[in-house]
Amino acid sequence: MDVGILQPFRSRYSDWIAEALKELDDCFLITDPSICKHPIVFASHRFLQMFGYQMHEVIGENGRMFQGRYTDRRTVLQIREAIREERPIQVEILNYKKDGEPLWILFHLFPVFRKEDGQVSNFVSVHVPIESRSRRKSVPKGLSLGKQWSRGGIIVSGSCRAEISAEEEIMCNLAADYFANTDDSVPEAEHFCEANDVEKQKAIDASKNILSTLIHYSEFTGMLVSGKQCKSLSVSPLSSSLLISLGRIKQSFVLIDPRLPDMPIVYASDAFLCLTDYSKSEVLGQNYRFLNGPLTDVETLNMIKENVEDSQSCSVRLLNYRKDGSSFWNLLHISPVRNSSGKIAFFVAVQILENAQNDKGSLSPEMSQFTVVGAVKVAVRGSSLTSSGLGSSKSRQSTFNHS
């Protein structure tokens, strides 16, 4: 088990959160969509007991590990879409215990949002076992998945990652066809079971208890969470899939949204935060000019402004300032980023510290900047977030003015 996976979870809710959640007599998992592969970061005692796992066996794993031969692909895709759209969902799904025994559960998933920026902090999935006396109907032919494929495969379940590639989609279809053709029989124990109203209410009540605990312990750190996304934010929340893709880019850069008033920063890489000494909460929502200072060249700022208004890329040498007031020469590159429809969705600003010690054979500053811009463009175009474009360039406000 990678202990580092748990650090963001504990940092937001304090070191006492695990003990507090263990007091809840509910069956649930908590996952972190900001980490690659959307891993499990907490499993309740009741969940481990019901599925036959130890804590170290599930932490860091993806929720697809509980799928099996007759897990309905259509239900899995419904859950995946709910995660991508960051909304709750309640469905019946067939999962499998560690020993291979099938178990019908009512699966209730809901997102938990960070108050400071409206991003999803975690997903919580409540699992309520459905009693066998519930109504049954046959699993639709051609929609079952093989256990051996889904456990090591690509199709995702309730606590799954938010993104899936076209290639993975093709593999998913081929796998479903394969298992449908090799075994059409469905064991009686794995026929569809429908939850009743009592079980549905039990899932809702458990969700309220878990959310209340998370909200309470987020107050200990000041990193507040909510069950509802704040609509009054000056920063437009990015989708989980886009955040994961951007998080893989290790260089210093920020993403600017020209559709919002004063063109705020909506994403800042870890390298940017390290370079400037600001925290993410201090950067998001700010106009990029907050790095300017008394000796920042006004003519250079005006040149940047003109290029942005004309939707053009530009590279400049600019004096910027860190949080502690110290200055640094920034080799800055600004470039528009278009979505899949060809409209400008963001501007990306890439920073390189002048005279920074580079390893022998490393890329030149220009090539490093172009590499970052290319990676950001791929991430944005692959995200369903940026479906709308901008108005005219006249509506774009001054981004880099000193004032």
Q: Contact at 8 Å (CB) between 365 and 252?
A: no
Res 372 pLDDT > 90: yes
Alpha helices in 248-364 (DSSP H): 270-276, 280-283, 298-309
Handedness of CA 272, 274, 280, 281 (dihedral sign): negative
Mean pLDDT of the chain: 81
Handedness of CA 79, 82, 88, 89 (dihedral sign): negative
Q: What percent of the chain has pLDDT over 90?
A: 54
Q: What is the C-alpha R_g of the chain? A: 24
| Predicted confidence band of residue 288 (pLDDT cuts 50, 70, 90) | very high
Predicted confidence at residue 348, as pLDDT, reads 96
Residue 214 CA to residue 205 CA, distance in Å, equals: 15
Q: What is the pLDDT of residues 296-314, one digit of tens each?
A: 999 999 999 999 999 999 9
Pick from 145-154, 185-194, 291-300: least confident: 145-154
314 — phi, psi (to 5°)?
A: -155, 150
pTM > 0.85: yes or no: no
75 — phi, psi (to 5°)?
A: -65, -40
Res 265 pLDDT > 60: yes
| Predicted confidence band of residue 400 (pLDDT cuts 50, 70, 90) | low
Res 252 pLDDT > 50: yes
**Mean pLDDT within 343-347:** 92
β-sheet bridge partners, residue 328? 320
What token pair was written down for 86? 């960051």
137 — phi, psi (to 5°)?
A: -150, 160
Longest dimension (CA), the chain: 76
Q: Name the 3-class secondary structure at 132.
A: coil
> Domains plus CATH for the chain?
3-226 (3.30.450.20), 240-395 (3.30.450.20)
Pick from 42-56, 110-124, 161-175, 187-201: least confident: 161-175
Predicted confidence at residue 333, as pLDDT, reads 96
Q: What is the pLDDT of residues 178-215, one digit of tens each?
A: 333 334 455 655 678 899 999 999 999 999 999 999 99
Q: Name the 3-class secondary structure at 28.
A: strand
β-sheet bridge partners, residue 112? 122
* Per-position b or e across 104-129, b if 16+ CB within 10 A of its CB: bbbbbbbbbbbbbbbbbbbbbbbbbb
Predicted confidence at residue 65, as pLDDT, reads 95
Which has the closest alpha carbon to 246: 284, 278, 210? 284
Res 275 pLDDT > 90: yes
**Mean pLDDT within 240-244:** 82
What token pair was written down for 24? 């809840």
**Mean pLDDT within 111-126:** 90
Res 357 pLDDT > 60: no
Cα 261 to chain centroid distance, Å, stands at: 25
| Predicted confidence band of residue 161 (pLDDT cuts 50, 70, 90) | very low
Classify residue 23 as exposed, middle or buried by CB count within 10 Å of its CB (0-12, 13-18, 19+). exposed
Res 289 pLDDT > 60: yes
| Predicted confidence band of residue 236 (pLDDT cuts 50, 70, 90) | low
Residue 140 CA to residue 192 CA, distance in Å, equals: 10
Q: Name the 3-class secondary structure at 177.
A: helix
Predicted confidence at residue 240, as pLDDT, reads 75
Pick from 78-92, 344-358, 389-403: least confident: 389-403
- Helix (H) / strand (E) containing 77: helix 73-84
